[in-house]
Amino acid sequence: MKLYEKLANDIEQQIQKGVYRDGERLQSVRETSRQRQISITTVLRAYLQLESRGLIASRPQSGFFVNLRKGAAHAGAADVIERPRPIPLSASVDVSRLVLSTLRTISSGDATPLGSPYPDPVGFPFDKLNRYVFAAGKDASLHDLKNALPPGHPKLLRQIIRRHLDQGLAVDPAEAIITVGATEAINLCLQAVAKPGDVIAVESPTFYAMLHAIERMGMKVIEVPTDPVLGIDVDMLARLAREMPIAACMVMPNFQNPLGYRMPDERKQALVQLANELDIPIIENGVYNELYYGDAPPSTLKSFDTRGLVLHCSSFSKTLTSVYRIGWALTGRYRDQVEKLKFLNTLTTPSIPQLAIAEYLERDGFDHQLRRLRKTYGQNARLMRHAVSRFFPEGTRVSSPEGGYVLWVELPGKIDGMQLYQQALEHGITVGPGYMFSVSNSYPNFIRLNYSSPWSNEIEQAVITIGKIAANALR
């Protein structure tokens, strides 16, 4: 193959993969010659060949532009860079790869996102928040760096502490540290209380972000049986803690993902009392706390903490916007360690989103926004439970979430959740296979469904399709 032909083929592949899109300008002949270390004549010959293939066109005094002719062989070139395909069904697939594959499929926009961990953004006040971001950006100056450093912007810290106070949790403002979402808060808190090789107790099933944090830090997981109504088995945790050194416990006591339960106050008190007796820190994930369906907010483990052993983590990603990724941690006795780790890990949390959210909380009806979300999610939960009960095979059982936006579904034992996940993808539907919520593959016949999107014919048809796939698996 001649040099100019190779260059032409290379550029054609880039166009096919969406690196260059229709109407975009290619590098100049001179720039391509310099970068490729080939003659200008060679580049010109390559560009002319691409033009003859119907892929580019020259514009006098402007250069060469991608110009896909209608009906040409390459008219269907990708509009975006092709995403990796979903991972193949395999017994060796690990949780991290499975989650990443599912999220890529969801973010492509082509699938009905029943497997998404995210709330549907249609209910978020983007326009209002963007106005506050714009205003904060106009007034930004170099001195705002100090408000981005730990612990965070004082206006947002004040609003967070006030919201906790309004919900019955009086907390020392000095405990609060702003983070890049709840994921960073959880990671920092875990790093502050444990070290590589330590054993961390978690609910079973548990949200995979917690498993990722433990895995990333080289720690070990012990799964504790968890009741779908009452929460983690405190007596079992006590027995395990006396048999092995447990460095910390990670739980989601309110509207747990994926079970959706609200742990009763008596069990919350018992869990905190056990932590006090054994001196075990508890990392409490509270991201769904404000998405309750009842009349009053739930209590927190933090509200029963008298020794600073509970590190409470939360964010605005589930209730206001996931775009800016603003979270926080109430760090108890571990405040200094978490603040130092925050500084070492990411240095700052951007101050403009912090200020914009603080202004919104102060001025623009966040509680009204939350009431609307709670009503929508509560209605959708009933619709999803009814649809699953109607269209899934006999023997299917579902959770009874008291908040949040996910439903945990137990399928008849013969049905493999991973196979269902793969077959659902072929129909343009995502589900969350139970494999993601345990390190021991304890939930092979379970799936998680997201019901945060407005109920529609598309959602209902997706549920019907999943039900048919499950029924066919029983034959």
Mean pLDDT, 10 residues at a time, the chain of 475 residues: 89 81 88 88 92 89 81 41 40 60 65 91 91 83 70 94 90 94 96 96 93 90 94 96 95 97 97 98 98 94 97 97 94 97 93 93 92 96 97 96 98 92 92 91 94 96 97 92
Angle between helix 457-473 and 366-391 (nearest 10)? 40
Host H or E run for residue 300: none
Burial of 93 from C-beta contacts in 10 A (0-12 / 13-18 / 19+): middle
Residue ranges and CATH numbers for the domains of the chain are 3-66 (1.10.10.10), 95-120+368-473 (3.90.1150.10), 126-366 (3.40.640.10)
d(CA 466, CA 292): 28
Residue 238: alpha-carbon gap to chain centroid: 31
Which pLDDT score is estimated for 69? 64
Residue 59: alpha-carbon gap to chain centroid: 45
Cβ within 8 Å of residue 40, ≥6 positions away: 29, 30, 33
Q: How many CA atoms lie within 13 A of 300 on its CB side?
A: 26
Q: Are 385 and 463 in contact (CB under 8 A)?
A: no
Phi-psi region of 118 (alpha: psi -120 to 50; beta: other; left: phi over 0): beta
Which pLDDT score is estimated for 15? 86
Cis preceding-peptide flag for 151 (omega within 30 of 0): yes
Residue 101's closest CA among 322, 445, 93, 409? Answer: 93
Which pLDDT score is estimated for 89? 38
Which pLDDT score is estimated for 403? 98
Host H or E run for residue 427: none
Angle between helix 154-166 and 351-363 (nearest 10)? 40
d(CA 393, CA 390): 8
Measured torsion, CA atoms of residues 311, 317, 319, 323, in degrees rounded to the nearest 10: 150
What's the N-to-C CA distance of the chain in angstroms? Answer: 55
Which pLDDT score is estimated for 109? 61
Which pLDDT score is estimated for 91? 35
Which pLDDT score is estimated for 90? 37
